[in-house]
Structure 1
Amino acid sequence: MNTIKYKTIIFALLFGMALYGCSSNGNSSEQQNAAEEHEAHNHEAATTGEEHNEALSASEEESAENEVLISGKQMEGAGIQLGKIREQQLSNVVKSFGELVLAPSDEATVSALVGGIIDDIRVMEGDYVRKGEAIARIVHPDIVNMQQDYLDARSQDEYLEAEYLRQKRLLEDSVNAQKTVQSARASYQSNMAKMQSLKKKLQLIHINPENLTPENITDGYSLKAPISGYVTQVKINTGTHITPQQSLFHITDNEKTHIDLQLYEKDINKVAPGQKITFNLANNPMKQFMEGEILKMARSFDTEKRTAIVHAVITEMNDNMLPGMSVIAYIQTGGEKQYTLPETAFVSDGGKDYVFVLKRESEVEENHAGHENEDEAHSEEVHNHQQESEHDTHSDGEHAEENHFFVFEKVQVDKGITQAGASGFFADFENMTTARFAVSNVQAILSEMKKGSSGHSGHAH
């Protein structure tokens, strides 16, 4: 019985080993076939890549000086778009230099009418204050005496007025002499003049004399802002002894800033009130030009500079513009049609303005059509190589973008006025009106050109 059992076990083991050997031979054959197919595919792709590089190299050799080759992938990645010239109505301009200024009525120096000691300072440089707002407080015994003198004069006024009227009635009744009436009237009028003078002085230092009583006499007064604006200077500190008419604060109403432009003698007759201007800061330009309008001509001429002053108002004030800043302005003196491109189509290099003109657009010929379908079939047959096949398919998609390339020429132009995002320019080259231009992110094309010219990888010539 035991002998039969051992024979059965040995037979089962031998049969299992035979089955495993057959399965292993089948799997090895499939893996070998898959490896051979994948190697053939990679060889074909490498051959195609070499052909692509040879085609690009041939295109580069055809490029002339000041030209740069940009692939379709680079165009898409940098967001470079193409556009054509448009004819637009832009103004003739007069270029002028000037500065932001304030009219004399729009800035104020704050002084004290009555001297004393600075008891409190309520503002600092940069604070915005409104007209009539208290910015400091001044105390002094003379201010107390002034209020006392006013109260005395006001009390005397009632008595002297009554005495004058009484003496006047007695004169009418022939009881007293004319001289007595005249003396009473002189005393009454003298006290009235004193009272009115003290009243005005108290009003000037913002103490209301009508509400003044012996109980509410104050030891000082508030110094108030004469205009609304920004505090640009604080020349005192707490405890400073000040004198009348001493300059303590400086306030400017920056919202009323205007432009004073210097016009050269040859341009004076071209400029008139009402003409529009565009301007920007000379030393710290903002992203967009601002607008204004010629207000009037200053009727004076600088014989040394050979210039005249023109005043211009600002259409919309910007907080970054401060009095004293230098500006560059373009006065629009008339309108005519001229060639324009979007403002983003221009790039500055070495102090000159350039645009990039599309010279040609081509595609490298393909000799490996259908690889994507073969990869999909291959991935279905061999599951173990699915990720590699997907990678090859993605690479073919990127390769298709590389096959499409653009050759741009860098052309110098004379850039004119910019209005509403369009810039006029002057240039002279063939087929200018039908040519296509790079109109966005042209700095990327310039960078690619410089990268190639410096000996690094790139397609510039």
Structure 2
Amino acid sequence: MSKNIIIIILAIVFLSSCRNKKTESETEATSTVGNITTLTDAQIKNAGIVTGKIEQKEVSSTLKLNGAIDVPPQSLVSISVPMGGYLKYTKLLEGMYVTKRQVLCVVEDQQYIQLQEDYLLAKAKIGYAKAEFERQRELNRSKASSDKVYQQAQSEYNSLSVMVQSYGEKLKFAGINPNNVSTKNISKSINIYSPISGYVSKVNVNIGKYVNPSDILFEIVNPSDIHLALTVFEKDINKLAIGQSVLAYTNTNPDKKYHCKIILIGKDFTENRSTEMHCHFTNFDKSLLPGMYMNAEIELKSQQSNVLPSDAIVNYENKNYVFIAKKNKQFEMKEVTVGIIENEFTEIISEDLNEATIVIKGSYSLLMKMKNVEE
């Protein structure tokens, strides 16, 4: 009986010893210090950990940008009335196409009548003044009149010449041809003509409204020079070139693509290290208006890049990490900067990992073991 008791006691002691050894082994296997964790051979096998090196692969990418429709100063015309007046007539609507020298509107005011009257009166007086000046000049040569009378006639003629010239230029400025003004042809209204061919982008007036010289009645856009201004950051400048194709689209209709070509890349950078890039539309769409926000995509050329299988990268607290295999079954968790993801490979921007041995399978299991131990 005593022999059986001894055997039972020995068995209990043996089992307790094994349990303690197992606990110690597990504790040692899952030890983590900082960003380095240590595993046993069994844990490495169970986690399916496989290591490898960074590879070189050709990676193509799409650069996404945003910006707005822009028009150079020479292609956006603001229409105003030089001397003001009441809007008598217009049929313009936004989106309409107008040709150069087409009548945009008719404006009338009393001041146009007064200006033509002043011009005709000055012209009438200058005829007499010229004849008197020439008569006094001949009399002065023969000493039949004094120098004073001659000079007065000359001054009167010169003053009226200036007035006629001045009134004539004012008529031209108001849009009235002086050659068409006569005692039988005085108009209270003027026509406003389009200086360019293009689309009406804005209509700011209505019939009967009084407009001042500073008021903008209409805006006309020359479609041949409308372009897309995109914001480009300094890090992407070397990926772009003049003549490169661009696909643009609006937020409201992203499926409709507008084909463009890069025509200009800015050289000056703002405080946030960005510049403007200008693109021409291959075909103009009148629905595209100045100031309209747009997105754009540019297919970049394939280039050799450092890549890892996407399974090698783990995301933790909004940061990307890989595990680097060290000696003695240790694995270091290291933050990396990633780029393009293509065909289950991810571009690695970090340049200090070229010689490192990196976990390419089992990274997530490593992360779980490390963070569970820390908790």
TM-score (normalised: structure 2): 0.60
- Is 2:293 aligned against 1:293? no
CA drift at 1:427: 0.8
CA drift at 1:179: 2.4
Q: Deviations over 1:313-365 (max 9, x none)?
A: 2222234433333333344665669xxxxxxxxxxxxxxxxxxxxxxxxxxxx
- Is 2:173 aligned against 1:197? no
Which residue number corresponds to residue 289 of structure 2?
322
Q: 1:215 aligns with which of 184, 192, 195?
A: 184
Give the letter for the 2:205 counterpart.
I
CA drift at 1:209: 1.1
Give the letter for the 2:121 counterpart.
D
Return the alpha-carbon distance in structure 1 between the equivalents of residues 128 and 302 of structure 2: 79
CA drift at 1:308: 0.5
Return the alpha-carbon distance in structure 1 between the equivalents of residues 302 and 153 of structure 2: 80
Return closer, same or farther for 1:252/1:319 CA change in 2, 3 Å cut-off.
closer
Residues 249 and 256, structure 2, Cα contact 8 Å, conserved in 1 = no
Return the alpha-carbon distance in structure 1 between the equivalents of residues 213 and 205 of structure 2: 14
Can you give the 5+ residue segments of structure 2 that lack an aligned partner in the other structure?
A: 1-57, 305-339, 346-375
Residues 260 and 309, structure 1, Cα contact 8 Å, conserved in 2 = yes
Q: 1:155 aligns with which of 112, 121, 124?
A: 124
Q: 1:427 aligns with which of 335, 338, 343?
A: 343
Give the letter for the 2:169 counterpart.
K
Which residue number corresponds to residue 302 of structure 1?
270
Trace 1:323-362 onto structure 2 (pairs within 5 A): 323-331=290-298, 334=301
Which residue number corresponds to residue 93 of structure 2?
124
- Is 2:279 aligned against 1:312? yes
Which residue number corresponds to residue 112 of structure 2?
143
Trace 1:11-90 onto structure 2 (pairs within 5 A): none
Return the alpha-carbon distance in structure 2 between the equivalents of residues 208 and 91 of structure 1: 63
Please state whether the residue corresponding to 2:268 is helix, strand or coil: strand
Q: List, as ranges, runs of 4+ consecutive aligned residues in structure 1 with deviation greater than 6 Å.
A: 89-92
CA drift at 1:299: 4.1
Return the alpha-carbon distance in structure 2 between the equivalents of residues 189 and 262 of structure 1: 60
Task: State the identity as a percent.
Answer: 29
Higher share in helix: 1
- Measured on the aligned residues, the alpha-carbon RMSD in Å equals 3.1
Question: For this pair of structures, how many residues does the alignment match?
Answer: 256
CA drift at 1:123: 1.8
Which residue number corresponds to residue 98 of structure 1?
67
Which residue number corresponds to residue 134 of structure 1?
103
CA drift at 1:258: 0.3
Which residue number corresponds to residue 111 of structure 1?
80
Residues 199 and 286, structure 2, Cα contact 8 Å, conserved in 1 = no
Please state whether the residue corresponding to 1:113 is helix, strand or coil: coil
Return the alpha-carbon distance in structure 2 between the equivalents of residues 179 and 269 of structure 1: 79
Return the alpha-carbon distance in structure 1 between the equivalents of residues 170 and 160 of structure 2: 15
Return the alpha-carbon distance in structure 2 between the equivalents of residues 286 and 187 of structure 1: 72
Return the alpha-carbon distance in structure 2 between the equivalents of residues 145 and 320 of structure 1: 43
Trace 1:247-266 onto structure 2 (pairs within 5 A): 247-266=216-235
CA drift at 1:114: 1.5
TM-score (normalised: structure 1): 0.50
Residues 291 and 316, structure 1, Cα contact 8 Å, conserved in 2 = yes
CA drift at 1:132: 2.0
Residues 120 and 182, structure 2, Cα contact 8 Å, conserved in 1 = yes
- Is 2:199 aligned against 1:283? no
Q: Deviations over 1:196-254 (max 9, x none)?
A: 11111212222221122111111111122233222233222222222222222222233
Give the letter for the 1:291 counterpart.
H
Return closer, same or farther for 1:317/1:237 CA change in 2, 3 Å cut-off.
closer
Please state whether the residue corresponding to 1:131 is helix, strand or coil: coil
Residues 59 and 342, structure 2, Cα contact 8 Å, conserved in 1 = no
Can you give the 5+ residue segments of structure 1 that lack an aligned partner in the other structure?
A: 1-88, 338-415, 417-424, 430-461
Q: Which has the larger radius of gyration?
A: 1
Return the alpha-carbon distance in structure 2 between the equivalents of residues 141 and 326 of structure 1: 44
